[in-house]
Amino acid sequence: MHPWPKPPGGPHYSVCHFCDTLHDATALPEGKAARCKCCGAVLYQNRPASLARANAFSISALILMVVVHSFPFLVMDAAGIRTSLNLASAAKALIHEGSPMLGIALAFFTIVTPLVLAGGLVYVCAPLLIGKKAPGAMIVAKWMNKTEPWNMIEVFLLGVLVSLLKLSKVADVHFGIGFWAFGALMLCMAAAVAGIDRDELWDRLEVAKR
Amino acid sequence: MSELFPKAATYGLAGCHTCGKVSPVALGHCPRCGSHLHLRKSNSIQRTVALMIAAATLYIPANLLPIMTVVELGDVTENTIVGGMITFWKSGAYPIAIVIFTASILIPLLKIVALTWLCLAATGKLHPSPSMLGRVYWFTELMGRWSMVDIFVVGILVALVQLGNYMTITPGPGALAFAGVVVITMFAAMSFEPRLLWDRLAMLDDTPSPSNPSDL
Ligand SMILES: [Zn+2]
Ligand SMILES: [Zn+2]
């Protein structure tokens, strides 16, 4: 049993976000989740080795982002012309071909949001490993919370597969290193975000010294 | 029922939407993260309904207008979302046609229906079972983003297919309208307050609650 440190004071409560039922926030053994007595929704969970995992996966995600932005996802040979695709080129193409709003939206959902999430997690969680709070860590954590629903890398990955099937009839298309790195990035992002529970992160931030 | 499952609002307590800390709502702002505290999101139903009407209206041009224009050897073809799906189906690519149908047509429509149904339930016009409510709410919260796949496909095709006189693809106005539908339905789902559904259920069965949270 390794419960995370609770802030001083109390009693500590937890409220179900779905049905508003009030619970006592009791400590949990690692790997267990507390569920709402009324509706069964997950209240909070104690992730095993949470800080280490959140840090490891978000640092891996940041490294993979460099690879994703340096190598093409798809390479297409048609009519003697070779074109290639990465995240920035898809956003740029939309901006130049008459739909700047779509290009900005694509860049936001697939470049900005994952960067805010992974970068924010490292910024907040790395100092927490030694019990310290980075300057502005709470503001960063708030922004991570706001951007999380808009992270759409897995949707973009599905888009790449659909495009590949669309184009395979008219051209010779193959995967580049960027595609595999993007697949790994998707897994790392999911593992990083799921690595530490929201309540644990905030409790640790409240306990941590500046 | 309310005796068995005490609601935070009964004690004037609110769980912070950002950090989860439970504090008296009278504080106004969360003592931990500074977010605004409220027992229920304000004007939740009105906001959700207004956003849903906007999304449903935008859904019409999103499907009627082309999402992209293909120019192949001087021939111009306008592609709509349904058209693209039918092309896949006719060419025998059934799995991909089903993926596009689900992401681009089924999910937005189901989301509009589900949120309308939730708003009706929250205003007491319908009386569904709590487990059903949970499933419908979960669907509206998590599935909406997958509808963006067709927009990403347009972006990818526009970036790749720039082959001069042979073939070029440009985005159409339908794509922007469709992206608008996806973003607006996501905001609609976020502005919906699921606790209103439980307030409704509690009203049907209002036994007095204990007056002190330490009686939990
Ligand atoms: Zn609940
Ligand atoms: Zn808070």
- Distance CA(B150)–CA(A131), nearest Å, equals 44
Nearest CB neighbour to A93, from listed B91, B134, B159: B159
SS3 A36: coil
- Distance CA(B134)–CA(B137), nearest Å, equals 5
Residue B109: name the closest of B175, B46, B181 by CA: B181
pLDDT in tens, B18-73: 998 999 989 989 998 889 998 888 888 899 999 999 999 999 999 999 999 988 88
Question: B3 and B69: one domain?
Answer: no
A195 C-alpha to ligand 2 centroid (Å)? 20
A151 C-alpha to ligand 2 centroid (Å)? 22
In a domain, B211, yes or no: no
Question: B73 and B25: one domain?
Answer: no
Question: B24 and B82: one domain?
Answer: no
Question: B29 and B104: one domain?
Answer: no
Element (H, E) at A33: strand A33-35
Question: B30 and B47: one domain?
Answer: no
Residue count of chain B? 216
ipTM of the complex: 0.89
In a domain, B145, yes or no: yes
Is pLDDT at B1 greater than 70 in this prediction?
Answer: no
- Distance CA(B1)–CA(B205), nearest Å, equals 7
| Residues A114 and A68 sit within 8 Å (Cβ to Cβ) | no
A174 C-alpha to ligand 2 centroid (Å)? 47
Peptide bond into A11 cis (omega under 30): yes
- Percent of chain A's residues with pLDDT above 90: 50
Residues of chain A with confidence (pLDDT) below 70 = 1, 210
Domain map (residue ranges) of chain A? 1-46, 49-207
What's the CATH code of the domain at B197?
1.20.140
- Distance CA(B147)–CA(B167), nearest Å, equals 27
Range of the domain at B79: 43-204
- Distance CA(A174)–CA(A157), nearest Å, equals 14
**Mean pLDDT of the region B120-125:** 83
Question: B55 and B12: one domain?
Answer: no
Is pLDDT at B210 greater than 90 in this prediction?
Answer: no
Nearest CB neighbour to A159, from listed B33, B156, B216: B156
Q: Which residue of A has its CA nearest to B89?
A: A166
Confidence of residue B123 (pLDDT cuts 50, 70, 90): confident
What is the pLDDT, as a whole number, of residue B182? 93
Question: B85 and B130: one domain?
Answer: yes
Question: B60 and B122: one domain?
Answer: yes
The number of folded domains in chain B is 2
Q: Which residues pair with A37 in a beta bridge?
A: none
Question: B52 and B35: one domain?
Answer: no
Question: B123 and B153: one domain?
Answer: yes
